[in-house]
Amino acid sequence: MIKANDPKLKSWVEVPTQSDFPIQNLPFGIFKTKYLSPVAGVAIGNHVLDLVYLHEHGYLDGLGLPPGIFNQKYLNDFIALGRKKSRDVRERISELLRHDNDELRDNVAAREIALVPISEIQMLMPVRVPNYTDFYSSEEHATNVGSMFRDPKNALLPNWKHLPVGYHGRASSIVVSGTSIHRPKGQIKLPDLEQPVFSASRKMDFELEVAFIACGETKLGKSISTAEAENHIIGFVLFNDWSARDIQQWEYVPLGPFLGKNFGSTISPWIVTLDALEPFRVDGPEQNPEVLPYLKYSGAKNFDIALEVLLQPEGGDPVTISRSNFKYMYWNVNQQLAHHTVNGCNIQVGDMYASGTISGPSPGSYGSLLELTWNGSRPLQLNDHIQRSFIEDGDTLILRGHAERNGVRIGFGLCTGKILPAL
Ligand code: CA
């Protein structure tokens, strides 16, 4: 049992009901303020705890942390210390924030500096991302896309249930929540023309995903087993894999997505740790046919995380357009990492591995507009006078996610991005 996960814990820091950040969460991130350069912090209620201050003033003594470990632009060096070290830090922060612990609670001067109101901060990328891989692990999503573009009777290709399909994405264009994205331009093949045209995308879409972040490093040639995989995973963020469907459809044969995807992906800023999500494990779907031995696993490896997508037109209110759940994944993260490294591919600290679009079984749970509007053929009615087939300029997409059990709600914060006109 991880002590910091105890549902009975209460903090002396006020945590509003329905907050994503109760004392049982304590996610790690990087923030800055008007006065502070980028530093590491932990979210609690509507505040962020400044880890540099805590470390420099002795509150984290005895944990064997290297000097300056939190006074950095990214969390890579900290998470590279391993799962055990981040667990020890989270346990210690939990202790400091407990309602009955007076170390920080009764030191008003320290508290004033260490606890920064969320309204005064700007969140930054939590890690430097050396590599980004995107999987395709939701059976419902793969079936929908296969039905739409190929054959509803053979929607899944023969390999799909034998391996977690994936491709290498673009790490340089991953941005933190709140960053606007310009509509991409590229080659589009219109159905009534023989030659492609050059144009701004007319089928701009989002993809609802969850990504895990690697905290370990392996040498070339080494594989990670499904049993070892979690030692290399620090936690999760929400992930919007923006997609230009028209560019994607023309370019993707035979090598897969390229410019239809690599112009931007947006993540939520807080790394919700695997430790915090322990109480929310559930069994994944039954895998049939039986997988090869290197993909076998034991235990509950899926997570019950409710996901929601909202679309906010310029000047309007956000409207929920999808509700899905991370638990629908056919392939779990252990299998994804085992498959990724089975050939000897090395992993690096900060690597991001996205799940692939997470669609549920019902139309209201589809994780992209491509599926929600069936490639634009059934527009969504947002309100009396606004409908959408794909994303329009000025639209903001908002991803949210949280796990809830025994009165504890572990959330991710927001993953938002606005689409601006093409440059
Ligand atoms: Ca994707």
CA of 302 to the centre of ligand 1 (A): 19
Which residue among 124, 146, 180 closes a domain?
A: 124
Q: Are residues 166 and 289 in the same domain?
A: yes
Q: Are residues 114 and 157 in the same domain?
A: no
Q: Which tens digit of pLDDT belongs to each residue from 386-400?
A: 999 999 999 999 999
Q: Are residues 57 and 101 in the same domain?
A: yes
* Residue 316 pLDDT > 90: yes
Residues 6+ apart with CB under 8 A from 92: 59, 60, 63
CA of 12 to the centre of ligand 1 (A): 40
State what percent of residues in the chain have pLDDT above 70: 100
Residue among 141, 339, 340, 402 flagged as catalytic:
141
Q: Are residues 267 and 143 in the same domain?
A: yes
Q: Are residues 188 and 337 in the same domain?
A: yes
- Nearest CA among 165, 175, 166 for reference residue 125: 175
CA of 166 to the centre of ligand 1 (A): 9
Q: Are residues 147 and 120 in the same domain?
A: no
Distance in angstroms (rounded) separating the CA atoms of residues 332 and 297: 9
Tell me, yes or no, whether 319 lies in a domain. Answer: no
Which residue among 78, 103, 124 closes a domain?
A: 124
Q: Are residues 165 and 83 in the same domain?
A: no
CA of 35 to the centre of ligand 1 (A): 37
| Residue 380, pLDDT score | 97
Q: Are residues 274 and 218 in the same domain?
A: yes
Q: Are residues 205 and 348 in the same domain?
A: yes
Q: Which tens digit of pLDDT belongs to each residue from 219-249?
A: 999 999 999 999 999 999 999 999 999 999 9
Distance in angstroms (rounded) separating the CA atoms of residues 288 and 330: 10
* Residue 150 pLDDT > 90: no
Tell me, yes or no, whether 406 lies in a domain. Answer: no
Tell me, yes or no, whether 54 lies in a domain. Answer: yes
CA of 356 to the centre of ligand 1 (A): 4
Check which CATH number belongs to the domain holding 201 and give it.
Answer: 3.90.850.10
| Residue 386, pLDDT score | 95
36-42: long-range contacts, CB 8 A cutoff, minimum separation 24 = 36/116, 38/72, 38/73, 38/124, 39/70, 39/71, 39/72, 40/69, 40/70, 40/71, 40/72, 40/75, 40/78, 41/116, 41/121, 42/90, 42/93
Distance in angstroms (rounded) separating the CA atoms of residues 220 and 91: 34
Tell me, yes or no, whether 397 lies in a domain. Answer: no
pLDDT averaged over the chain? 97
Give the pLDDT band of residue 37 (cuts 50, 70, 90).
very high
CA of 188 to the centre of ligand 1 (A): 20
User: Is 141 designated active site?
Assistant: yes
Q: Which tens digit of pLDDT belongs to each residue from 328-376?
A: 999 999 999 999 999 999 999 999 999 999 999 999 999 999 999 999 9
Domain that holds residue 13: 3-124
- Of the CA atoms within 13 Å of residue 338, those in its CB half-sphere come to 20
CA of 308 to the centre of ligand 1 (A): 16
Residues 6+ apart with CB under 8 A from 385: none
Q: Are residues 143 and 115 in the same domain?
A: no
CA of 137 to the centre of ligand 1 (A): 10
CA of 358 to the centre of ligand 1 (A): 9
Give the pLDDT band of residue 1 (cuts 50, 70, 90).
confident
| Residue 27, pLDDT score | 98
Distance in angstroms (rounded) separating the CA atoms of residues 265 and 292: 32
CA of 136 to the centre of ligand 1 (A): 7
Q: Are residues 148 and 278 in the same domain?
A: yes
| Residue 378, pLDDT score | 97
Check which CATH number belongs to the domain holding 47 and give it.
Answer: 2.30.30.230
CA of 267 to the centre of ligand 1 (A): 13
Tell me, yes or no, whether 311 lies in a domain. Answer: no
CA-to-CA dists, residue 205 to 151, 388, 414, 418, angstroms: 22, 11, 18, 12
Tell me, yes or no, whether 417 lies in a domain. Answer: no
CA of 318 to the centre of ligand 1 (A): 23
Report the domain count for the chain.
2
Distance in angstroms (rounded) separating the CA atoms of residues 260 and 325: 25
Distance in angstroms (rounded) separating the CA atoms of residues 208 and 206: 7
The least confident of 125-129, 152-156, 174-178, 301-305 is 152-156
Tell me, yes or no, whether 295 lies in a domain. Answer: yes
What pairs with residue 32 in β-bridges? 122
CA of 31 to the centre of ligand 1 (A): 27
Under 8 Å between Cβ of 402 and 20: yes
Tell me, yes or no, whether 317 lies in a domain. Answer: no
CA of 241 to the centre of ligand 1 (A): 5
Q: Which tens digit of pLDDT belongs to each residue from 342-351?
A: 999 999 999 9
Three-class SS string for the chain? CCHHHCCCCCECCCCCCCCCCCCCCCCEEEEECCCCCCEEEEEECCEEEEHHHHHHCCCCCCCCCCCCCCCCCCCHHHHCCCHHHHHHHHHHHHHHHECCCHHHHCCHHHHHHHEEEHHHCEEECCCCCCCEEEECCCHHHHHHHHHHHCCHHHCCCCCCCCCCCEEECCCCCEEECCCCEECCEEEECCCCCCCCEEEECCCEECCEEEEEEECCCCCCCCCCCCCCHHHHEEEEEEEECCEEHHHHHHHCCCCCCCCCCCCCEEECCCEEEHHHHHHHEECCCCCCCCCCHHHCCCCCCEECCEEEEEEECCCCCCEEEEEEEHHHCCCCHHHHHHHHHCCCCCCCCCCEEECCCCCCCCHHHCCCHHHHCCCCCCCEECCCCCEECCCCCCCEEEEEEEEEECCEEEECCCEEEEEECCC
CA of 36 to the centre of ligand 1 (A): 35
Q: Are residues 47 and 72 in the same domain?
A: yes
CA-to-CA dists, residue 44 to 86, 307, 384, 407, 418, angstroms: 17, 21, 39, 16, 27
Which residue among 74, 97, 124 closes a domain?
A: 124
